[in-house]
Structure 1
Amino acid sequence: MYTKEQASQLRQAFWTAFGQYIAPHPSAEGLKINWSNYKTGIKHLYFRMRAESKSASIGIEITHPDAGIQELFFEQFLELRGYLHETLGEEWEWELHGANEFGETVSRIYKEISPVNVFNKEDWPALISFFKPRIIALDEFWSDAQYSFDALK
């Protein structure tokens, strides 16, 4: 078991390693990008990567505090579902109005793997191999799809 400080340091070390590994890869638009902290350009819409002690996930999170607006965003993604899955090369899970770790209502489109453990450095290659192609594919999807969300900004 790790102290809070040790766990934080290991997580930070993983994300630093991931960032260094993926940094040479430009965005779909050919720009330098912070892959670990991806900016969609739309408030309350995030591409999140999580690595924990038993699993890891990558996904699109809609966190708008208004459930109706959150649903509008989700419906817009549903319109683009075929294109999203085609770009990703796989199907993801879709969850309208679930709860996050803070009990807030969020909607998610995500992919998860387990068992992997961010605190075990032997699992880092598997985590990086899981995250890298998916965040790159999300970026490719978003470079085209973001304009479909202009009316919701």
Structure 2
Amino acid sequence: MFSRQEASQLRKEFWTVFGQYMKPVPGFEGEKVNWLNYKTGEKDVLFKMEAENKMATVGIELVHSDLEIQQLYYEQFVQLKNMFENIVGKGWTWSLHTPNQNGKVISRIFSELGSVSVFNKADWPALISFFKPRIIALDEFWSNAKYGFEGLH
């Protein structure tokens, strides 16, 4: 078991390593991208990567507080599902209106990797190999799809 401070330090160290690893990777349109804090340009559409004790997830979170508008965003993603799957692959979980760890209702499209821990440095290559192609694919998808989300709210 790690103390809270040790756990925080290991998380920080992993994300620093991942950020340095991804820094030279350009975005789909050739621009410089902050992969750890990806900017979609839509306030309520987030790309999130999380690494915890037993699993890792990467995906899109729709966080608009108005659930009807959140559903509009989700339905727009559903309309683009074929393009999404052609770029990022199949097997992602699509979830409308589910509570996150803080109890806020969000919608998500995500991929999950089990049996890994951010607290085990031996798992870091597997985590990086999981995150890298998926966040790059999400960037490619978003480069093609973002215009369909303008003015939804």
TM-score interval (norm. to shorter): over 0.9
Deviations 1:23-55 (Å, cap 9, x if unpaired)? 111001111111011111111110000000000
Q: 2:27 corresponds to which letter in structure 1?
A: S
Q: 1:124 corresponds to which letter in structure 2?
A: W
User: d(CA) in 2 for partners of 1:79 and 1:92?
Assistant: 15
Match of 1:128 in 2: 128
Match of 2:106 in 1: 106
Root mean square deviation of aligned Cα: 0.8
Q: Does residue 94 of the first structure (1) align with residue 94 of the second (2)?
A: yes
User: d(CA) in 2 for partners of 1:2 and 1:21?
Assistant: 25
Match of 1:56 in 2: 56
Q: 1:16 corresponds to which letter in structure 2?
A: T
Q: 1:3 corresponds to which letter in structure 2?
A: S
Structure 1 stretches of 4+ moved >3 Å = none
Deviation at 1:90, TM superposition (A): 2.5
Match of 2:28 in 1: 28
Gaps of 5+ in 2: none
TM-score w.r.t. the length of structure 2 is 0.98
Match of 2:65 in 1: 65
Deviation at 1:151, TM superposition (A): 2.0
Match of 2:116 in 1: 116
Q: 2:120 corresponds to which letter in structure 1?
A: N
User: d(CA) in 1 for partners of 2:66 and 2:89?
Assistant: 31
Q: 1:8 corresponds to which letter in structure 2?
A: S
Deviation at 1:89, TM superposition (A): 2.4
SS in 2 for 1:151: coil
Gaps of 5+ in 1: none
What is the percentage of aligned positions where both structures have the same residue?
56
SS in 2 for 1:15: helix
TM-score w.r.t. the length of structure 1 is 0.98
SS in 1 for 2:41: coil
Deviation at 1:98, TM superposition (A): 0.4
Q: 1:122 corresponds to which letter in structure 2?
A: A
Q: 2:147 corresponds to which letter in structure 1?
A: Y
User: d(CA) in 1 for partners of 2:29 and 2:77?
Assistant: 21
SS in 1 for 2:59: strand
- Larger deviation, residues 122-131 vs 16-25: 16-25
SS in 2 for 1:48: strand
Aligned residues: 153
User: d(CA) in 2 for partners of 1:152 and 1:2?
Assistant: 44
SS in 2 for 1:27: coil
